[in-house]
A and B are shown apart, each in its own frame.
Chain A
Amino acid sequence: MASSSVPKGTPNFPEYQTEEGRLKIFGFWVFLAAEVVLFSTLFATYLVLADRTAGGPTGKELFEVKDFMIETMLLLTSSFTCGLAVLEMRKGNKKGVFIWMIATLAMGLGFLGMEISEFVAYVHEGATLQTSAFLSGFFVLVGTHGAHVTLGVVWISLVLTQVAKRGLTPMTCRKLFIGGLYWHFLDVVWIFIFTAVYLTGLI
């Protein structure tokens, strides 16, 4: 692997201090770009199938404004606190990192709780994966996002245990930063779910 000297123009932050850190952060951006396409395929399918309700419930009948707005607020706010955590990380303030990251995770869990109860409610109303093409598209699109959030919660928690043990080193900072990128990205995806699934479904 290449030299340890830091190239010109590299941000003066811990996560960028090693060659490995720089490569992994860039690599993660590329991965996120691939995730854009992954989700776009799910969106395309959902949008194509959205009117094919096969006599089952429609989006208008299922979606509750209050519920999905609370979910949206939880994710938006958690994205904000996650940003603050990264800010504290760059200041070298471990305590701040923990405060804001734990807040982030708590909101993430809140979001997941709401989403699961939303799904359970739908199933009780007779709206399952097997009911119609629309609902297959809905559950798999929103569920994939939910699975990503779950993974994000587990992953960031594990990184936090590493930070607790090792402190804010270039390596743990890189992991935190990448975890943060992932979290913000999931927020971006949610915004599109909010727009293309919930709002569009109610228009």
Chain B
Amino acid sequence: MSEQQHASAKHHITGFVLSLLLTFAALFLALNTPLSVGLKLTVIIVLAVFQMLVQLVYFMHVTEGSKIYQIISFSYGIFVAVCVVAGSIWLMLLNGMSMY
């Protein structure tokens, strides 16, 4: 049960600070740097994924309860979500860029 003791106020504050850092980093990168559009998009998406992990671990206690099953279900949801989003963009937007 040691894991649970960690779920203290300090733990939550860490999560909060991390989420603020990630948010402002994304904002800064997107609006105030000269990076290319593609790179910016990649980086802010990665930051958003980290932000999600912060919420899941620090606030939602995904590692408690039916830990393994919870993680598997959520990951499966993300797998399908990626298929839906990436698949739709590929089919609907990038289609015109292929040979015909």
Contacts and interface: CB of A to CB of B under 8 A. Distances in A.
Does a CB–CB distance below 8 Å link A and B in the complex? yes
Contacts of B16: 76-77, 80, 83
Given A11-B4, A40-B85, A191 B65 contact: no
Contact of A33 (B23, B45, B58, B77): B77
Contacts of B66: 22, 25-26, 29
Nearest to A69: B27
B85 A195 contact: no
Contact of A32 (B44, B47, B48, B74): B74
Interface in A35-74: 35-37, 39-41, 43-45, 47-48, 65, 69, 72
B27 to A, nearest CB: 7
A84 B48 contact: no
Nearest to B87: A44
A45 B9 CA distance: 39
Contact of B81 (A37, A187, A200): A37
A35 B87 CA distance: 18
B51 to A, nearest CB: 5
Contact of B4 (A12, A33, A79, A192): A12
A181 B23 CA distance: 21
A195 B65 contact: no
Contacts of B93: 47-48
B9 A191 contact: no
A1 interface: no
A161 to B, nearest CB: 24
A184 interface: yes
Contacts of A25: 65-66
A44 B56 contact: no
Nearest to B80: A37
A104 to B, nearest CB: 11
B59 A83 contact: yes
A192 B51 CA distance: 9
A16 interface: yes
20 contacts: A12-B1, A12-B4, A16-B65, A26-B69, A26-B70, A34-B77, A36-B74, A83-B12, A83-B16, A191-B23, A191-B51, A191-B52, A191-B55, A194-B26, A194-B48, A196-B45, A199-B27, A200-B41, A200-B44, A203-B30
Task: Give the 9 A-B residue pairs with the shortest CB-CB distance, closest first.
Answer: A40-B81, A33-B77, A36-B77, A44-B88, A80-B16, A195-B48, A199-B30, A33-B73, A83-B59
